[in-house]
Structure 1
Amino acid sequence: MPKHDHDRPEAPGEFRSEHDLLGDRDVPADAYYGIHTLRAVENFPITGTKVSSYPDLVTALACVKQAAALANRELGLLDGRKADAIVAACEEIRGGKLHDEFVVDVIQGGAGTSTNMNANEVIANRALELLGHRKGDYTSLHPLEDVNAGQSTNDVYPTAVKVALDLTAHRLLDAMDVLRSAFEAKAAEFADVLKMGRTQLQDAVPMTLGQEFATYAVMLGEDHRRLTEARALIHEINLGGTAIGTGLNAHPRYAALATGHLRTVTGLPLTVADDLVEATQDAGAFVQLSGVLKRIAVKLSKTCNDLRLLSCGPRAGFAEINLPPVQAGSSIMPGKVNPVVPEVVNQIAFEVIGNDMTVTMAAEAGQLQLNAFEPIIAHSLLKSLTHLRAGCLTLAERCVTGITANREHLAGLVARSIGLATALNPHIGYEQATAVAQEALRTGRSVQELVLDKGLLTEDELRRILLPDNLARPHLHTAAEG
């Protein structure tokens, strides 16, 4: 596209004047954002977290605006040169450029209007440059008349949020696979390590350390499927519904065309909601996604609790496994090493659980034809997805892959445990097994020793019953014999 000599970078400190319904304001001449964004920055100094902190959201906004421009050009509602410039600007943003121009706070009043305006202005001013005009020359290409044609914040913003959530959820799913693989590798490594299982923190019956670690992998696999299901729900969008879902000011074919172009641009299986009025006010898909993220967080936190318990010690605790030491644990206690990686994942989980409550309340607070609180929903969900992803990768790479088992200690715990009496129930009866367990607890002698002394079983019978496979996988052994 043509470039004019006068289209040079403005000197720092220069300003351009822009106008909105409240009057005139000076905007930094080199800024790609405009007056609407400037007012939003002033009005919402809330978190210090800018929209640009979520690159997927900026990319998603550019995708929506690109799809809208393509649809409007196809409908003859947008001049071809303008459409090309808008598309080119959007593609640059999707490629990572101009993200630092998305400066409004992620938490804002107005149902996301400030974010939409920020996107309109940045895209318009970059498109103006590509057409050979100065930033702010809105008579040549306008942020609202052209970039926002056929749109409203109320369909653009939730659509962009859903696209951003899908992109971010995909990264979390990949990270969950990494963590699951790490647990599966440890499950295989520890498949032959016999240990005592526990219920209510009391000795229960034998199992293998491999079975314990395999459980963590299975739980991640289940949650992976639940997140995939929740991700599918956010593929239904309300683009084309404009203000309240009636499609006012949009061409009758716009919704289908824009959604089709958005499918192509994003590669996502997006669909137009059956009822755009319902879709514009309903935040149910966000609530569902948040609930799944809470489920993942709860189960990850439980797993980390287990890792901290199993590794507690090294002398006065369980000391069944060793977590890799990654940093000194104390400023006063020499040699102390703490389970810092599981601890940080615990804290991520606490945050995600709190974010779920925020999403719940924001979704419930919607009124009539619009939910005005989607900015806090977006902020909460994007934080949860981003932090869970980081937590999964950190847990896998900085902790799980380096875990080792204290094999001799575990074998000794099994040999001394009164829980072995449970395995003898079918062979010596519940009453005899109970008596042996009580005497073992009282005297400190082992269950095996007492059973042999009392002549309840022969040494060969006892050895066969207490084989690791018979203790940890009794049903597999029975099936093999059958």
Structure 2
Amino acid sequence: MQKFRVESDSVGSKNVPIEAYFGVQSLRASENFNITGRRMHKDLIISLAQVKKATAITNNEAGLMNKKIKDAIVQTCDEIIAGKLHDEFIIDPIQGGAGTSGNMNANEVIANRANEILGGKLGAYDKVHPNDHVNMGQSTNDVFPTAGKMAALKLIPRTLEELRKLNDVLIDKSKEFDDVIKMGRTQMQDAVPIRLGQEFHAYSSVIKRTISRIEKASEGLKIVNMGASAIGTGINVDTEYLKNIVPTINAVVNLDLHQAEDLVDGTQNLDVFVDVSSALKTCAVSLSKISNDLRLMSSGPRTGFGEINLPAKQNGSSIMPGKINPVIPEVMSQVAFNIIGNDITITMAAEAGQLELNAFEPVIFYNLYESIETLGNGVNTLRENCIAGITANRKRCKYLVDNSVGIITAIVPHVGYKVAAKIAARAIATGEPISELVLKEGILTKLQLSEILDTIAMTEPGIAAKHLMAI
């Protein structure tokens, strides 16, 4: 039979598993918040340990904590940072109490392990106490948001690296497809010719822009409210601790954090998370649009656009033999839909704060971390399993351009809009190519027409102008 120890808090007494490093407050919270079936993100757990390590060091240097207790806390935090004791963090990522449960889970685990290091028993808290020592000079309201920002800062670089790799592949494809002329389309109707390489270069441009947007938004995560205590007024915070806590965190983990100039503002307002989430959402929107394009251009293979071939990754149907679906662009769009939904949650949670505190950081962190990670994973599979292996159907692209009515646009400056419109209408009605109709009507000579309908010239303003001057 499982054995228990009895722990008490302001609510009452409760049986806690005798070998558990978590305590009564963690246990209550795990029972109250069975929401997602998951636990707090490992990087949030590690960040909490890094904050607690820095606070112990800072309190010791300020003369507030003796070296023996500090060393035990630091040793425990180092164990957690190395990946140990994570099973003792039992709180659901979505939790009431503005993160108090998550903070107390860290306080109890660290206190119990530190007591053990100093020869004490689990749950006794006689040598190291969760609140008096591990939480000294702190509040959930500065610890939890600081750790939350730190975790996000650790996750974002991998996603940015995936975006940079995607950009590189898009640039490669833009060069590979630079000589492939295809039909441009607006509002799903034939427009004028464009080079396939130009389309892929445009995809690169939007990815580069979104990388810059995420980098800029992420800078706001480096502003933390450590030292603010409960509401930003620094109650129960030693002046030396207040001055040194953020530099000490930076010594523990190199994230270039800065203490908020206005700690009340830093405690009340969560607009930085909205900013970061918005940047991720904007990136997701652009990636889904690119995925839409890939699905359209690869549609067919016989009855669609059929301009490009996506790598065949898996069977597309349980009933239709040989059917291959664009599963990678499809999953990228689904990732985007989820990120957009997460952004709405983060927006509403940030708006829902009242007065001196926003209680909804747990759901913000849960959704933000998911957005960061799934974006990076989605981009990785889009690059490796789709973009890198795309090939162009050059003959199909040329055929669609040659037989399109859209090329009439290039003739307009030479024959006028009215004449060109009549030719276009007749081409649509009869199915005859524009070039044949123009020659049949004697509107232009064959030489003039060949110059005007130079498809490369149609895709470059400088080249087109040069041709216009020569005719």
Could you say which TM-score interval applies, normalised by the shorter chain?
A: over 0.9
- CA shift at 1:193, angstroms? 0.5
Rounded Cα–Cα distance in structure 2 between residues aligned with 1:402 and 1:294:
26
The CA RMSD measured in Å over matched residues stands at 1.8
Aligned partner of 2:24: which letter?
Answer: I
> Quick check: 1:24 aligned with 2:13?
yes
> Quick check: 1:354 aligned with 2:344?
no
| 1:11-51 CA distance string (max 9 Å, x none) | x8333332222232222233221111111111111111211
CA distance 1:467–1:91, change in 2 (3 Å): farther
Q: TM-score, normalised by structure 2?
A: 0.95
Give secondary structure in 1 for the equivalent of 2:124: coil
> Which residue, out of 237, 262, 273, partners 2:249?
262
> Quick check: 1:206 aligned with 2:193?
yes
CA distance 1:80–1:476, change in 2 (3 Å): farther
Partner of residue 450, structure 1:
437
> Which residue, out of 371, 384, 396, partners 2:358?
371
> Quick check: 1:322 aligned with 2:318?
no
Rounded Cα–Cα distance in structure 1 between residues aligned with 2:180 and 2:112:
65
Rounded Cα–Cα distance in structure 1 between residues aligned with 2:252 and 2:366:
24
**Where do residues 208-357 of structure 1 align in structure 2 (5 Å cutoff)?**
208-357=195-344
CA distance 1:77–1:199, change in 2 (3 Å): same
Rounded Cα–Cα distance in structure 2 between residues aligned with 1:365 and 1:346:
29
Rounded Cα–Cα distance in structure 2 between residues aligned with 1:143 and 1:455:
93
Deviating more after overlay: 427-436 vs 77-86:
427-436
Rounded Cα–Cα distance in structure 2 between residues aligned with 1:468 and 1:14:
81
**Where do residues 73-472 of structure 1 align in structure 2 (5 Å cutoff)?**
73-472=60-459
Conservation of the 8 A alpha-carbon contact between 1:256 and 1:272: no
- CA shift at 1:323, angstroms? 1.2
Aligned partner of 1:43: which letter?
Answer: N
- CA shift at 1:95, angstroms? 2.1
Rounded Cα–Cα distance in structure 1 between residues aligned with 2:172 and 2:275:
32
- CA shift at 1:222, angstroms? 0.6
Aligned partner of 1:147: which letter?
Answer: V
- CA shift at 1:464, angstroms? 2.9
Aligned partner of 1:133: which letter?
Answer: G
Conservation of the 8 A alpha-carbon contact between 2:274 and 2:346: yes
Rounded Cα–Cα distance in structure 1 between residues aligned with 2:328 and 2:149:
31
Aligned partner of 2:2: which letter?
Answer: G
- CA shift at 1:266, angstroms? 2.2
Percent identical across equivalent pairs? 51
Partner of residue 28, structure 2:
39
- CA shift at 1:125, angstroms? 2.3
Deviating more after overlay: 423-432 vs 200-209:
423-432
Rounded Cα–Cα distance in structure 2 between residues aligned with 1:477 and 1:255:
66
Conservation of the 8 A alpha-carbon contact between 1:230 and 1:292: yes
Conservation of the 8 A alpha-carbon contact between 1:34 and 1:136: yes
Q: TM-score, normalised by structure 1?
A: 0.93
Rounded Cα–Cα distance in structure 1 between residues aligned with 2:391 and 2:104:
54
Deviating more after overlay: 310-319 vs 112-121:
310-319
Rounded Cα–Cα distance in structure 2 between residues aligned with 1:98 and 1:466:
71
Rounded Cα–Cα distance in structure 1 between residues aligned with 2:427 and 2:85:
72
Rounded Cα–Cα distance in structure 2 between residues aligned with 1:81 and 1:442:
91
Rounded Cα–Cα distance in structure 2 between residues aligned with 1:277 and 1:160:
18
Conservation of the 8 A alpha-carbon contact between 1:308 and 1:342: yes
Conservation of the 8 A alpha-carbon contact between 2:458 and 2:464: no
Conservation of the 8 A alpha-carbon contact between 1:320 and 1:409: yes
Rounded Cα–Cα distance in structure 2 between residues aligned with 1:464 and 1:119:
74
- CA shift at 1:97, angstroms? 2.1
- CA shift at 1:476, angstroms? 5.2
CA distance 1:460–1:81, change in 2 (3 Å): farther
Aligned partner of 2:18: which letter?
Answer: A
- CA shift at 1:462, angstroms? 2.6
Rounded Cα–Cα distance in structure 2 between residues aligned with 1:16 and 1:453:
98
Give secondary structure in 1 for the equivalent of 2:239: coil
- CA shift at 1:479, angstroms? 7.4
- CA shift at 1:478, angstroms? 4.2
Partner of residue 3, structure 1:
none
Deviating more after overlay: 257-266 vs 87-96:
87-96
In structure 2, stretches of 5+ residues that fail to align are none
- CA shift at 1:143, angstroms? 1.4
| 1:316-372 CA distance string (max 9 Å, x none) | 211111111111111111111111111111111111111111112111111111001
> Which residue, out of 48, 52, 66, partners 2:37?
48
Give secondary structure in 2 for the equivalent of 1:206: strand
Partner of residue 9, structure 1:
none
Deviating more after overlay: 21-30 vs 294-303:
21-30
- CA shift at 1:413, angstroms? 0.2
Conservation of the 8 A alpha-carbon contact between 2:120 and 2:126: no
Rounded Cα–Cα distance in structure 2 between residues aligned with 1:235 and 1:448:
61
| 1:163-191 CA distance string (max 9 Å, x none) | 11111122211111122222222111111
Give secondary structure in 2 for the equivalent of 1:253: helix
- CA shift at 1:456, angstroms? 2.9
Conservation of the 8 A alpha-carbon contact between 2:309 and 2:393: yes
Aligned partner of 2:56: which letter?
Answer: A
Partner of residue 7, structure 1:
none
Deviating more after overlay: 20-29 vs 299-308:
20-29
Rounded Cα–Cα distance in structure 1 between residues aligned with 2:200 and 2:437:
32
Conservation of the 8 A alpha-carbon contact between 2:115 and 2:126: no
Deviating more after overlay: 158-167 vs 444-453:
444-453
